[in-house]
Amino acid sequence: MSSPAPLNVCITGAAGQISYSLLPLLSSGHVFGPDQPLNLHLLEIPPALPALSGVVMEIIDGAYPLVKSVIQTSDPKVAFRGAHIAILVGAFPRRAGMERKDLLAKNLPIFKAQGHALNEVANRDVKVVVVGNPANTNAMVLSHFAPQIPPTNITALTRLDHNRALAQVAKRMDVSVLDVHDVCIWGNHSSTQYPDVTRATADGKQVLPKMGGFGGLAEGFIPLIQKRGATIIQARGMSSAMSAANAISDHLRSWILGDSQVVSMAVPADGSYGINKGVYFSYPVRCVGGGSYEIVQGIELDEFSRKYVEATAAELYAERAEALALFE
């Protein structure tokens, strides 16, 4: 049987630490399957091209049968040309003393330029996951400057938060992560996100009573997940990379190949659960395969959950307003 045509997979920030953990997962077939060949399109800024050439030597030395070609470039139009999948990791990192507004100002030109390039040269059905922070608002900016790409083909990563929540529930309930269901992340990939376990089950039993009820969630579990990224930065001196790469892999595998579980993805708000259009909002989604997903409907949000969902939505509306002011 002949193998399928290669997928063109573009990764930005390809010499960075997340990419270093992600490339082996992609190259070994863990993400798109053991029969799916790939052309890797790697984008970096010019000062990082020497480091990228070392990463490319390591990909070659990995002797991955699925990797058919590797492009290394600092030109977004070369990197995005014909892309079927775009993983946008490269972003300006937050430095000491920087406010969110400063981070938005630094990242806006990057996502504007990449939006233009995607719009011009990517495959019309390209599937995009934005990882670089502030991920939800970077996705909104990208979509604005890539009007030919359906906004629903652009997503932002909240699967890391979802996995963090799954792992903490499994640990507390003393079960396998495979036995935990109906966990989800609402809103922004930030410290206002709402990791929701109010309907979650472990081994078929409700987890809420065993996690201390609403009071226990508010004091323990929720802030732990909201601040996990910052806690890892404090411990490692660098942000999460291995777990972020694993989450990107999970996000893409669920999206492209389908998933029997409800997962979390930041997608364009469509009014579901009262969230205004115009922001990328993390919802529980069902990935039905073939690159399609649908926002899970019909969840009855209790008053406790509604308060958190509204707070994270308010943060995203404010980020959107700050970004729009910078468009002028």
Ligand X SMILES: NC(=O)c1ccc[n+]([C@@H]2O[C@H](COP(=O)([O-])OP(=O)(O)OC[C@H]3O[C@@H](n4cnc5c(N)ncnc54)[C@H](O)[C@@H]3O)[C@@H](O)[C@H]2O)c1
Ligand Y SMILES: O=C(O)C[C@H](O)C(=O)O
> Which residues are annotated binding-site positions for NAD(+)?
107, 131-133
| Residue numbers 221-240 binding ligand Y by CB under 6 A | 229-230, 232, 239-240
Minimum CB–partner distance for residue 229 and ligand Y (Å): 2
Q: Site map for ligand Y, 125-164, x if CB under 6 A?
A: --------x--------------------------x----
Minimum CB–partner distance for residue 230 and ligand Y (Å): 6
Query: Toward ligand X, which CB reaches closer, 176 or 231?
Result: 231
Q: Is 99 exposed, middle or buried (0-12, 13-18, 19+ CB in 10 A)?
A: exposed
Q: Which of 38, 43, 173, 309 binds ligand X (CB under 6 A)?
A: 43
230 binds, among ligand Y, ligand X, none (CB under 5 to 8 A by kind): ligand Y
Is 38 near ligand X (CB under 6 A)? no
Is 132 near ligand X (CB under 6 A)? yes
Is 324 near ligand Y (CB under 6 A)? no
241 binds, among ligand X, ligand Y, none (CB under 5 to 8 A by kind): ligand X
> Which residues are annotated binding-site positions?
94, 100, 107, 131-133, 164
The CA R_g of the chain, rounded to the nearest whole Å, is 19
189: annotated active-site residue:
yes
| Residue numbers 221-250 binding ligand X by CB under 6 A | 239-241, 244
Bridge partners, 305 (sequence order)? none
Residues forming the active site: 189
Residues that bind ligand X (CB under 6 A): 12-13, 15-18, 43-45, 48, 89-93, 110, 131-133, 135, 157, 160, 189, 239-241, 244
Residues that bind ligand Y (CB under 6 A): 133, 160, 229-230, 232, 239-240
